[in-house]
Amino acid sequence: MPWRNGTGPPWIHGKFQGCGYRLTMPRQVIMDVLSQTSEHLSAEDIYLAVHKIYPAIGLTTVYRTLEILVQMGLVFKFDFGDGRARYELSEGPKSIGHHHHLVCSGCGRIIDYTDFIDDEVELLKKTEKGLSKKYNFKITNHLIQFYGLCDKCQ
Amino acid sequence: MPWRNGTGPPWIHGKFQGCGYRLTMPRQVIMDVLSQTSEHLSAEDIYLAVHKIYPAIGLTTVYRTLEILVQMGLVFKFDFGDGRARYELSEGPKSIGHHHHLVCSGCGRIIDYTDFIDDEVELLKKTEKGLSKKYNFKITNHLIQFYGLCDKCQ
DNA sequence: TATTTATTGATAATGGTTTTCATTATTAAT
DNA sequence: ATTAATAATGAAAACCATTATCAATAAATA
């Protein structure tokens, strides 16, 4: 990485400013934490990780920042049914790119998968076009999740 | 409908017994309420509707019953991001059959759609088969949702 | 009928998320 | 630079959907 910890890549700065937000230290560190993991972190997970780097952080700020990041499209918010939201960077160094999740109903394990993306994209394009037309609904995002039992739980 | 209010169709009774549950009055009325709507009711919505027919109902019982119904596969539980779960009968008189949802990020409106189900089913079959094999993950269910802005919000 | 077992509902507790609000940091104006 | 206006922060309290507790009731079984 060509930037110091907490400094963040330059384009992030522009993105924030472009949306009328300031790229403050807490926000940079939250972005760093999200960039350096491929896990599905909860707000508290993020709070704890940020706290190691920037101990003055408050949980409230984490929630507020995540809301902004989701709204800016930099972060995806997921609900895997365990009562707490999970957050993932939508793009970045460790991002595995466009993917979806297998959610184990037994142990709650989450498996990322990127298979059949080509077929999926084809269907989605068709579907999005059709639905946009039929309902005049402007689609910005989609969610696909599979539920079932992982190898250890069946 | 060939059965009285709160009596429910016969097969429901068998289903409950088969799972080791009793088909009590509160449970029957909850099933009735779910059968007679095509909306996306929250637990409280259901509680209020049931309360008109069966005033002794408690909110706790509604939650407990819904949990059972979901676990039995009679009801789907959804999260549309407004902080409360929504419940839909997976099959029944007013059910529109297999469908998915468009979620408006502006006003929270939910639009059911059943388009492209054939193409979707094809992709899902392929995907499920591939993922089951690759990850040894036994898929029981899936979720597809589109997010965006409805006609009134753009 | 007696006895075991499941179900119920009022209440309290839980816990993730939001709101409040005074303080602090950042930007813009002078 | 200094000051004024604005945005961001964090501690604490509030919120609110959902769960756990537990005594009372209903249903199934012996």
List chain A pLDDT tens, one digit each, 154 residues.
334 444 456 688 999 999 999 999 999 999 999 999 989 999 999 999 999 999 999 999 999 999 999 999 999 999 999 999 999 999 755 656 889 999 999 899 999 998 888 888 888 888 889 988 999 999 998 999 999 999 999 8
When CB atoms are compared, the residue of A115, A136, A149 closest to B138 is A149
Same domain, A86 and A115: no
Q: Is the pLDDT of residue B3 over 50?
A: no
Same domain, B114 and B138: yes
Same domain, A18 and A75: yes
Contact B102 A139 (CB under 8 A): yes
CATH number of the domain to which B101 belongs: 3.30.1490.190
Same domain, B54 and B102: no
Same domain, B148 and B86: no
Contact A102 B139 (CB under 8 A): yes
Nucleotide nearest residue A61, measured CA to C1'? D9
pLDDT tens track for B104-148: 998 999 999 988 888 888 888 888 899 999 999 999 989 999 999
pLDDT at position B119 is 87
Residue A84 tokens read as 């707490």
Contact B138 A148 (CB under 8 A): yes
Rounded Cα distance, B154 and A132, in Å: 12
Residue A32 tokens read as 């760093």
Interatomic distance A104 CA / C3 C1' (Å): 41
Rounded Cα distance, A69 and A76, in Å: 8
Same domain, A1 and A72: yes
Same domain, A113 and A75: no
Residues B20-47 have a mean pLDDT of 96
Same domain, A33 and A79: yes
Same domain, B81 and B130: no
Contact B102, B113 (CB under 8 A): yes
Minimum mean pLDDT range among A112-121, A134-143, B12-21, B42-51 = A112-121
The answer to whether the beta carbon of residue A20 comes closer than 7 angstroms to any atom of strand C is: no
pLDDT at position A92 is 57
* Residue range of the domain that includes A8: 1-91
Same domain, B78 and B13: yes
pLDDT at position A34 is 96
DSSP A56-102: T--HHHHHHHHHHHHHHTSEEEEE-SSSSEEEEESSSTT---S-EEE
Domain count, chain A: 2
Same domain, A44 and A83: yes
Q: Can you tell me the ipTM of this complex?
A: 0.89
